[in-house]
Amino acid sequence: MATPNPENVVFNVPNQLTAARLALSIAVFVLIPLQFYLPALIVFAIAAGTDWVDGWWARKYKQVTKLGRVFDPFVDKILICGTFIFLAAEKDSGIYAWMAVVVMGREMLVTVLRTMVEQGGGDFSAKMAGKLKMVFQCLAVGASLVVLMYGQGGSKVSAAENGWLYWTLHLSAWLAVISTVYSGLEYVFLAAKTLRK
């Protein structure tokens, strides 16, 4: 009996983790409007962590699949874009609607470029700027949820903590935006160079 090609296996461990991340993303989207910010933060952290785990597992155990190459980045986009959108709808989250638009626009653009390049046989794998962008976006989400937790029920914190939270939130949010734009431009130039060839 012929052994199935690992690339064609559908529900291996990395893809199971990705499916779990999709379910966790939906949980985050439910928790934020209900103002359960601490549970949302915990679930988001677990979801973001599975992104690293499934990639590591797929490479280590040679379980990279055709489905995984599409499913994994799709779920990443759902998690990040969706969370930014829901946070933008929360008052005093420090995440503004235009930031969510920038994040979502970049992800849509890169998806289109990836399709064009890979259809032409080119390589459009993740670059370091894209990975750093994901880190800054996750930090911004975490900082926003912590600020929302502190502000819940009109609770007050010391001026020092307020200042620390304020600057952490706004610095991480701006780093997320800047890295999102920068990595998007990097992919645009890469796609232009590849398509010219």
User: What's the CA gap between 53 and 37, in Å, rounded?
Assistant: 24
DSSP state of 89: T
The closest alpha carbon to 4, from 89, 52, 66, belongs to 66
Measured from the Cβ of residue 164, the count of other Cβ atoms closer than 10 Å reads 12
Residue 92 included in any domain? yes
Widest CA span in the chain: 69
- Residue recorded with tokens 């990395």: 14
Is residue 142 a contact partner of residue 93, using CB atoms and an 8 Å limit?
no
Structural domain span for residue 157: 9-196
Is residue 71 a contact partner of residue 20, using CB atoms and an 8 Å limit?
no
pLDDT in tens, 125-143: 667 888 899 999 999 999 9
Residue 186 included in any domain? yes
- Amino acid residing at 169: L
Predicted local distance difference test score (pLDDT) of residue 8:
57
Residue 185 included in any domain? yes
Residue 3 included in any domain? no
CATH of the domain at 130: 1.20.120.1760
Domains in the chain: how many in total? 1
Per-residue pLDDT of the chain (197 residues; tens, 9 = 90+): 444 555 556 778 888 899 999 999 999 999 999 999 999 999 999 999 988 888 888 888 887 777 778 888 899 999 999 999 999 999 889 999 999 999 999 999 988 888 887 777 666 666 788 889 999 999 999 999 999 988 765 555 544 456 788 889 999 999 999 999 999 998 898 888 877 76
Residue 49 included in any domain? yes
